[in-house]
Amino acid sequence: MALLGRVLPRYLLLLAQNNLGFRLAEIKSLLSLYGGRFSAHQESHINSPFWILNMPSEEMAKGLMKRTVCGKSMFELWGHGKSSEELYASLKNYPMDNMVPYLQSNTTYKINVHAFNKTLAQKEKIQKIDALEFLPFEGKVNLKKPEHVFWILEDYGTDPDNIPKEPLALYFGRWIANGQRDLIDSYSVKKRHYIGNTSMDACLSFIMANHGRVKPNDVVFDPFVGTGSLLIASAHFGAYVCGTDIDYNTVHGLGKASRKNQKWRGPDENIRANLRQYGLEKYYIDALVSDASQAIWRKRMLFDAVITDPPYGIRESTRRTGLQKEVVRSIEGGTENRISVSSNYHLSDLFFDLLNFAAQYLVMGGRLVYWLPVYKPEYTEEIIPQHSCLKLISNCEQTLSSHTSRHLITMEKVKEFEDQDQYSHLLDCQYMPYKGQNSFREKYFSGVTKRIAKEERDKQK
């Protein structure tokens, strides 16, 4: 990636080897948040734990690491190759001017060795460090508190049953920053004050906020808020958050508890208390008891991001309020009254409403991030709901079972909403798999039933 003819500095990103399908979209989103772009050359090694990124500045690299939960560490790349010889040749070509500030006699430093998919003996590590004596290090070695830390990184592939003798790729670089992997533990749902059966895992919540490019002072909305896991992740990145849920008990933290050994929710188990637990209460706007299928907002652009996990009808029901005519006897002369009842909310309607809502209430450039359940045998890209005001940014699959998965869909508002856009996304093919009462639920459980039947048959053999 070149900027006005200038070759951009190269950085090495070491990534965690889980949630593979979400990494590219996360890094791309974060780069674009900081004004950068992902260079296409990297895409061929997409499942590798090592990615080389071209970025205009170290500041951008540091900004990215303040946000990523997929990235572990970032290094300024000084050299790389497919063999030691290639690495050394590449290091000898690295501009001396770039190295000098970190090698001077008044600095302290340390060199570490990391091998991916192989354990190296200490002796081997020292040999690898000694082999770099041609680099003009003039500072003092300080193993405890060095000013600069350098790393030799070796890639032995991703197959633990087939570890090559020699590394497939070698890198050398100056450590710049670590990513936000610690958040996965510190925000773990296991230690959360208020949880429900469908509370979103902490790592995925942060990934969703990153796909949504949430930034400080944004306003983020979750129309299916549940216990507020997605609000927490956005608030951590400095956004003001709010949500709605159709379930009164969920919004008010009442009713049965989801934790084992606890029958009823305690007095302070609610969304606000969850934000307070992490020191984020000042970012909490509120949560309302409201049906996402109903328009309750004034017509204007309100939200920087809509980030949500809608109900699929597997662990929680898909429902909405309905209107039922009921004749109420009145002493004054028999008037007709309409009361609100619960009726099934087909997924096809739910996605139609969600896209329409995002198209109307997102600011331009704002993002919608949501999960789409998929019955794998029927999946084609055409089934992904579309809207004339929203551009598809990413579509990341997470497998749930042999026949089902969920896709994290990210869309960006690219066009102002006009009345004719309301029905612009009513293409039959998109909504077909989600039409009909409990359509996804039936497919989901049909697979489970078949599997149980097969297990039974296998047992009898």
Ligand X SMILES: C[S@@+](CC[C@H](N)C(=O)[O-])C[C@H]1O[C@@H](n2cnc3c(N)ncnc32)[C@H](O)[C@@H]1O
* Token representation of residue 139: 């500072």
Is 217 exposed, middle or buried, given 0-12, 13-18 or 19+ CB atoms closer than 10 A?
A: exposed
Nearer to ligand X, 74 or 239 (CB): 239
Question: Can residue 345 be called a binding residue for ligand X (CB under 6 A)?
Answer: yes
Closest by Cα among 264, 288, 265, 284 to 275? 284
* Nearer to ligand X among residue 137 and residue 303 (C-beta): 303
User: Of 104, 129, 278, 316, which one interacts with ligand X (CB under 6 A)?
Assistant: 316
Tokens of 178: 């670590």
Q: Which is nearer to ligand X, 197 or 335 (CB)?
A: 197
**Residue 353 lies near ligand X (rule: CB under 6 A):** no
Task: Single out the residue of 250, 274, 360, 404 in contact with ligand X (rule: CB under 6 A).
Answer: 250
> In 3D, which of 332, 385, 139, 366 has the Cα closest to residue 239?
366
Binder of ligand X out of 77, 214, 292, 411 (CB under 6 A): 292
Length of the chain: 461
Q: Which stretch binds ligand X (CB under 6 A): 72-80, 114-122, 135-143, 312-320?
A: 312-320
Should residue 349 be labelled a site residue for ligand X when binding is judged by CB under 6 A?
Answer: no
Told to check if 247 binds ligand X by CB under 6 A, we report yes
* Interface region with ligand X, contact rule CB under 6 A, candidates 126-134, 148-156, 196-204, 446-454: 196-204
From the CA atom positions of the chain, what is the Rg in Å? 26
Question: Quick one: which segment of 120-128, 133-141, 225-233, 384-392 binds ligand X (CB under 6 A)?
Answer: 225-233
Of residues 173, 311, 366, 385, which one binds ligand X by CB under 6 A?
A: 311
Question: Could you say which of 73, 227, 410, 424 contacts ligand X (CB under 6 A)?
Answer: 227
Neighbour-count burial for 133-167, b at 16+ CB within 10 Å, e otherwise: eebebebeeeeeebebbbbbbbbbbeeeeeeeeeb
205-32-369-308 Cα dihedral, nearest 10 degrees: 40
Strand partners, 7: 2
Give CA angle at 116 (113, 119), nearest 5°.
70
Q: Is 410 near ligand X (CB under 6 A)?
A: no
> Is 234 an interacting residue with respect to ligand X (CB under 6 A)?
no
**Closest CB to ligand X among residues 87, 225:** 225
Hunting for tokens 């991703």 — which residue is that? 158
Closest distance to ligand X from the beta carbon of 353 (Å):
9
Q: State yes or no: residue 196 binds ligand X (CB under 6 A).
A: yes
Using the 8-state DSSP alphabet, how is residue 264 labeled? B
Q: Which two tokens stand for residue 340?
A: 């609100």
Q: Which of 19, 73, 234, 318 binds ligand X (CB under 6 A)?
A: 318
Of 116-124, 128-136, 290-298, 421-429, the segment contacting ligand X by CB under 6 A is 290-298
Alpha carbon distance 171, 81 (integer Å): 7
Please give the residues from 205 up to 224 whose contact with ligand X meets the rule CB under 6 A.
223-224
Among 84, 198, 343, 422, interactor with ligand X by CB under 6 A: 198
Query: Which contiguous run of DSSP H or E holds residue 87?
Result: helix 84-93
- Asked if 199 is part of the footprint of ligand X (rule: CB under 6 A), the reply reads yes
CA angle 358, 359, 360 (to 5 degrees): 90
> Which residue is nearest to ligand X, using beta carbons?
226
Report the nearest approach of ligand X to the CB of residue 280 (Å): 15
Q: How far is the CB of 230 from ligand X (least distance, A)?
A: 5
Question: Interacting stretch for ligand X, rule CB under 6 A, among 72-80, 86-94, 117-125, 311-319?
Answer: 311-319
d(CA 320, CA 40): 44
**What φ, ψ does residue 32 adopt, rounded to 5°?**
-70, -30
The count of residues interacting with ligand X (CB under 6 A) is 25
> Which of 19, 73, 274, 293: binder of ligand X (CB under 6 A)?
293
Q: How far is the CB of 371 from ligand X (least distance, A)?
A: 8
Q: Pick one of 204, 230, 354, 408: the residue that binds ligand X (CB under 6 A).
A: 230
Q: Single out the residue of 167, 212, 226, 433 in contact with ligand X (rule: CB under 6 A).
A: 226
Q: How far is the CB of 336 from ligand X (least distance, A)?
A: 25
Q: Residue from 65, 202, 246, 305 that binds ligand X (CB under 6 A)?
A: 246
Rounded least distance, CB 193 to ligand X, Å? 12
Using alpha carbons, list the distances in angstroms from residue 138 to 111, 132, 280: 13, 13, 46
Q: Are strands 319-327 and 219-222 parallel, antiparallel or unpaired?
A: unpaired
Smallest gap from Cβ 224 to ligand X, in A, equals 3
C-beta of residue 358 within 8 angstroms of C-beta of residue 368: yes
Q: Is 245 in the site for ligand X (CB under 6 A)?
A: yes
Which of the 8 DSSP states describes residue 247? -
**Helices 202-211 and 20-33, packing angle to 10 deg:** 40
Give the three-state DSSP class for 58.
helix
Coil, helix or strand at residue 210: helix
**Shortest Å, Cβ 310 to ligand X:** 6
Rounded to 5°, the CA angle 360-220-414 comes to 40
Q: Which residues bind ligand X (CB under 6 A)?
A: 196, 198-200, 223-224, 226-227, 229-230, 244-247, 250, 291-293, 309, 311, 316, 318-320, 345
